Amino acid sequence: MLDSPNEPSAVDEGKHIATLGYAVSQENPGPPDLSSLVIHFRLSTQVATHFVIAFSDLQIIDMVQNVCIPIPCELTSVVADIYEFVVARSTSCRGLNSVEECDLARRIWKQLQVKKYHKRLLQQEFIDDIDLTCLRPGSPRCSICDSNLIHCKSCQVASCESDDCPGSSEPPLARCGRHQKEVLCFSCLEEQGFMAELEKCSGCKSWCCTRDMSLCSGHPVGIQPIPGLPSSESVIPDLIVTYAQSARVHPPKRGSCMECELPGWRICNNAFCWSHTICPECASGGVTCLCQEVWACDPCAEHITGIFIRCPRCNRPFCCSCSYVDECQECHSANLCYDCAEEESDVGDGLMAEFPKFVASCGSCQAKVCDRCMSHSAFACAGCSQRLCQSCRKSLCDDCKQWLASDDEDETNEGADAGLNVEVLL
């Protein structure tokens, strides 16, 4: 900016407001001529115009300090593009609302980028590959291979969609392999920085949408024990807040696309984990069930009790799907795993009496209940009063669900038979 004292020190301090104005004259037959073209600039905190770009004499005018300077050389091509756009817009319909105006402007700018693509091809060394008699400057197809042209979704610059065509390097565009409309030029990608919408997969080296790539947000540092009852659902919100507020061992790190699996990357069994995917550096700890089918990161394995059941003697972790050990749904006491129970039975020293005995189970999810909790109040099935655990308290037991489903099926069949009989009688 010319007025450096008023230049915002950060982008968020103010927004630049630009107003483009032009006038046309129709003195001669043919397309109208632009008699004037200016762009007014001001900050959102200002009322009056601060800068004016005058296209007629290629000057930048500081309206506050009354100073004029020539437009810098590096902006000459940009000014030419704007002028060409306004010429094309001046010949189009008028009286549009803001939505229609934006749509028309986008279509005009996109068409101008198509013309510039064909013009770039004629300026390159592979001009011999182009049949000049078939050249269509406004065509949405490549002049070399007749493939479709694709556009950067940000600046609309055009290029050939075929990677085998020399025109695809005029300029090269990044395109998502799964979402064909997600296209960006490298200049726009560079401007987006870490927030880039496309990124190259480190596995297959293809471009893909950033939202579809695995991301490790960094292992939390210094997670303290969270008070709460074992397996209490109230612990999960507290743990999510703790994860969000904790420091991380590294900034967010990209992994691979959905089609690739990088070595060492893992997914925690806890749906509320601090990261959906975890890089090898952060997954170096963690807990794995002896069945090798379930893995959880060390913070989730420590604080969320519904992922693993540990044998009270050998302390080995077992996932809840394993049959090697059982846990009471009420008091969360576990019995011995098969190996430890077998050793106890061989020794016969009477220690088995210290561990719970499972005498009942939930009528819906089959979760076990020990003899110590059997006398506690419990939820019951609305159909047959069979015992239900807290998680299944609003449902029927499996037997009643099956009976209800078969009853509905019988009613449906009876209705169909009745309809058939009526049809035959008619």
Q: What is the rounded distance in angstroms from the CA atom of residue 91 to the CA atom of residue 94? A: 9
How big is the CA angle at 297 (ends 295 and 301), to the nearest 5 degrees?
85
Q: Which residues pair with 141 in a beta bridge?
A: 148
> Residues 69-90: pLDDT tens digits?
898 888 888 888 888 888 888 8
Instruction: Map 246-306 to HEC letters.
Output: CEECCCCEECCCCCCCCCCCECCCCCCCCCCCECCCCCCCCEECCCCCCEECHHHHHHCCC
Q: How far is CA 419 from CA 141, 371, 408, 425, in A?
A: 59, 53, 17, 10
Q: Are 384 and 398 in contact (CB under 8 A)?
A: no
The C-alpha atoms of residue 297 and residue 304 are separated, in whole angstroms, by 11
pTM summary value: 0.62
Instruction: List pLDDT tens digits, range 399-419.
Output: 787 777 776 655 555 554 444
CA–CA distance from 362 to each of 82, 331, 333, 402, 406 (Å)? 72, 14, 16, 16, 22
Please, are residues 341 and 312 in contact by the beta-carbon 8 Å criterion? Answer: no
CA distance 79 to 85: 10
| Beta-ladder partners of 41 | 18, 51
DSSP state of 148: B
Tell me how far apart the alpha carbons of residues 339 and 368 are, in angstroms, rounded to a whole number: 20
Distance CA 269, CA 251 (A): 22
Q: pLDDT band at 261, cuts 50/70/90?
A: confident
Whether the predicted pLDDT of 37 surpasses 50: yes
Residue 387 has pLDDT above 90, yes or no: no
Q: Is 19 exposed, middle or buried (0-12, 13-18, 19+ CB in 10 A)?
A: exposed
Pairing of strands 67-70, 149-151: unpaired
Q: What mean pLDDT do residues 173-187 have?
A: 92
DSSP string of 337-369? Answer: -HHHHHHHHHH--SGGGGS--EEEE-TTT--EE
- Is residue 151 a contact partner of residue 171, using CB atoms and an 8 Å limit? no
pLDDT at 265: 93
Surface-to-core class of residue 227, CB atoms within 10 Å of its CB (0-12 exposed, 13-18 middle, 19+ buried) = exposed
